[in-house]
Amino acid sequence: MREETAPIDPWLLDKLVCPATRTPLRWDATRQALVSDAAGLAYPVRDGVPVLVVREATALS
């Protein structure tokens, strides 16, 4: 079952930004990732920890 809400504290989620564009990230429950619409990237969340490394991100299609 997929979580509809982010597995990250909402306070932290409000402060996270894309490392490539410095724009806000949003939680995408379908991808189970933090998405940067500006960069067209989805950053994985592993064991509740966001992996905000550009080379670890996947391109949005």
Distant-in-sequence, close-in-space partners of 12: CB < 8 Å, separation ≥ 6: none
- Whole-structure pTM value: 0.89
Residue 1's pLDDT is: 45
Inter-residue contact 23 to 38 (CB < 8 Å): yes
Residue 53's pLDDT is: 98
Per-residue pLDDT of the chain (61 residues; tens, 9 = 90+): 455 777 888 999 999 999 999 999 999 999 999 999 999 999 999 998 999 999 999 999 8
Residue 2's pLDDT is: 56
State both tokens at 24. Answer: 């806000």
